[in-house]
Structure 1
């Protein structure tokens, strides 16, 4: 060590990735796995759900409400849990997945679209809470060198694996000729399994060191966390920081433009990815000759997983800003090519699958692992305002997602597939421009330096 009494947080930032970090990643990541499963499962069973309740059109108001209900509720859940997270990150960790477990199981017993919308509203509230708590806790426990990789694996990749699981289960049920009305109920209700499995693990995860240092000002508790990560001997030599004096008003006055940009980027990103991701399996999969579950599986298992691997390899080397900017540009390029070169009935289906798959690849290699993983909010906001900024940015993203799932099917119905997909391409290019002008680079620096907390 370079000093006889190093800072406790500096010691944690300099630790190598350890068993403690792996356990924290799995514990937080399993909630994100559940998020991915629950949000995508509706896309692979949407036609069956609507048919079961006598609705024939995928582009109607009821289908949009069914998809958007969880998204709108997650905005509310994100803000509520973002505000109360300053009373303790761990204190509320587990409540989010408990809400998701109850709501996921309730979906299996719904007797009308209205009841299903209500169940998915509760589900969305829990998902919104988890979108705030999981990346924030993951980041506050991570070391500086590997924080980007931890967030990419724990949020981005785990979300994709949840989506893959939803598609695989649906394909298996179809293979065994389970009746359609039972298929969608099992697929949606199975979200209770990963949610329930992680509740106990979350209660055992310690409170984050940043919360103890900068909000509660509990030096003894901070050293106890250092002992778990680096050992008791190291913890005994560290100097525990006290809480910082600046409050929310001071941080917002200094950094409000940055916080607004974080929210705007997530808003723009979610318009693109949720419109394309949730309705793609139902509306676009048909045009390339795949069922919704098959379409989702191809894009997630092949293209999205590969994109996540690229992000893991580059996020802490190349940096957040170039990955996100280039990701947005290439997402827009793939969607633009799809809109103007793929024509159902006359173009080769493999061409359409490849272009749409590359859209998902560049998403996961870029903004899906950064803005879409909540990385900007947790890295660029000081500890005292991190929960609120993350809550506001998640809410902005959910509103963008809800807008996308209402606007995209309407554009698809009124103006055709090419126009609807071209709209998403243009939105992705806006995201690239905003990234280049609106955010700083945060790779391999402490959360205190990335957020500006050390200079307030």
Structure 2
């Protein structure tokens, strides 16, 4: 069986890049496009939610979400994502990747629409309904992480596997970009239709009733790419590696690979006696000795990375307001504020986030995962401290552009760095029967970090400067403290990277040790046969 598996799966390892590989990238990647759109679009509309549902009549400034509500709206999807990553990761190893792949998309479609239809008689009921749907939206998104990564890794050849997996994840950048662009379009459309100038007449009270449609439309549009992808996901065959190594069906694996690679592949005839590798469990001492440090490395680096990455993404609007790049809320109407926030986030995505992802795609199979991850953590640390230490310098009006450039570079090196590699590596280094589960554990650790970032950053960066608060800025000198903490987090990520092995140019079976398991089982079986065939000499 060991030799059979190696010979059959070798066809995937040495296969030339074909059109089907690119099709698989698009099919899996559209899930991540949707994931990013749905997770990050909420940051575009949270200030609008505060204006609509928490404005007090006669107040001197626009309404804002209370800290606990803001934390719930931003963080509840991550709680769902964490749960979905663990559940669907486990289910993908038990039932197969394909059988559960469509469930995640359907959850995303239903809950995106449900989020936009969050109604109620009070602000609390609307926010509670929104949080309910965003939790289950996150649950579906969570399932996409281990399944998409595992499917892409098991379809790929070993020469370009890193680039293919990274390309799936890079669709996340386009999702972030699409969210910003769509928010710009919809805010401009509503501003021209319902919000005639001059805005100075009543900037605080100019949250027109139609503004309630804006956030609902923005969150519901996330259902479209997921719905469009569902049919093609259902047509994908099960991965040959799962069929061969977990389901033990070599004939079906050969047939599936023939369809994928568009070549005729014959399964070797079964021998009379099949050698089976000793199977060990996920929580066994054998797994701990073989892969325990690897799992610690992938989980810890993803946890630390997401503290920094999601803090930056979800609260960049507050950071830009704090340094004055986005004007105080009371100086503009609601729709204008959505437009300015979307414009700022789109600029960051276009100039740094998206290029960072594709630098990783281009170079990951040339310089390796390990080098890219170390480099990313290092430069994220450098730029975080470069922003935090002379923070008062950057808040001056003449220096704001410099702050934005430096801040953009932290995004660039997050994506040309650990944000991409932490997704790629767990799909390569664990055995097939645990691959989806271990990726789910690693990514769930990341989402735990995102929860820490979403809730922790919110309170760490609360306004501590009364003069800035009175001027309408949502955050004051707490931003500096937050940036310093994030810099320290990146330092820890740098050192935990040394627990993660390099997978460049190696087959999945070599990385996971499955070849060694099968060879050991074969030798043990041979010894057993030799022992049983001994004859007792006649005396």
**Residues 347 and 428 of structure 1, relative CA distance in 2, 3 Å threshold:** farther
In the alignment, which residue of structure 1 is the partner of 2:180? 167
RMSD: 2.1
1:213 corresponds in structure 2 to: 244
Once the two structures are TM-superposed, the CA of residue 244 in structure 1 deviates from its matched residue by 4.5
C-alpha distance in structure 2 between counterparts of 1:394 and 1:174, whole Å: 34
Equivalent position of 2:148 in the other structure: 134
1:209-358 equivalences in 2 (<5 Å)? 209-233=240-264, 235-236=265-266, 244-248=277-281, 249=284, 250-285=286-321, 287-290=323-326, 291-342=340-391, 343-358=394-409
- Per the normalisation by structure 1, the TM-score is 0.94
Query: Secondary structure in 2 aligned to 1:16?
Result: coil
Are positions 1:64 and 2:71 aligned together?
yes
Q: 1:385 aligns with which of 398, 423, 434?
A: 434
Shift of 1:238: 6.1
CA contact (8 A) 1:285 1:292 kept: no
- Conserved in 1, the CA contact under 8 Å of 2:78 and 2:447? yes
CA contact (8 A) 1:315 1:323 kept: yes
**Gap regions ≥5 residues in structure 2:** 56-62, 120-125, 192-209, 327-339, 465-476, 518-539
Computing the radius of gyration from Cα coordinates, the structure with the larger value is: 2
Of 395, 405, 421, 2:483 maps to: 421
SS at match of 2:146: helix
Choose the corresponding residue for 2:492, options 411, 423, 430: 430
Unaligned runs of 5+ in 1: none
Q: Contact 1:7 / 1:239 at 8 angstroms: preserved in 2?
A: no
Question: What is the CA–CA distance in structure 2 between the aligned matches of 1:381 and 1:120, rounded to whole Å?
Answer: 31
Distance (Å, rounded) in 2 between the aligned partners of 1:282 and 1:101: 29
| TM-score (normalised: structure 2) | 0.80
Contact 1:412–1:419 (CA<8 Å) still a contact in 2? yes
Equivalent-residue separation in structure 2 for 1:239 and 1:143 (angstroms): 24
CA distances 1:313-354 after superposition (whole Å, capped 9, x unpaired): 210010000100010110111111112234324452211110
Secondary structure of the 2:190 match is: coil
Contact 1:20–1:228 (CA under 8 A) maintained in structure 2: no
Q: Give, in angstroms, the shift of residue 23 of structure 1.
A: 1.1
Q: Count the aligned residue pairs.
A: 449
Partner-residue secondary structure (3-state), 2:505:
coil
Give me the whole-angstrom Cα distance separating, in 2, the residues matched to 1:222 and 1:167.
42
Deviation at 1:4, TM superposition (A): 12
The residue that corresponds to 2:162 in the other structure is 148
SS of residue in 1 equivalent to 2:118: coil
Instruction: Summarize deviations over 1:357-402 as a string: whole Å, max 9, x none.
Output: 111111111111111xx21211111111112111111211111100
- Aligned counterpart in structure 2 of residue 197 of structure 1, from 223, 228, 232: 228
User: Quick check: 2:299–2:442 contact (8 Å CA) kept in 1?
Assistant: yes
- CA–CA distance in 2 between the matches of 1:83 and 1:65? 27
Task: Give the Cα separation in 2 of the matches to 1:242 and 1:119.
Answer: 49
Moved more, 240-249 or 130-139: 240-249
Counterpart-to-counterpart distance in 2, 1:310 and 1:285: 30
Describe the shift of the 1:28–1:243 C-alpha distance in structure 2 as closer, same or farther (beyond 3 A): farther
Provide the rounded CA distance (Å) in 1 between the counterparts of 2:33 and 2:368: 25
Q: How much does 1:285 deviate?
A: 4.9
Tell me, yes or no, if the aligned pair for 2:5 and 2:245 is still in contact at 8 Å. Answer: no
CA shift, 1:152, in A, is 1.2
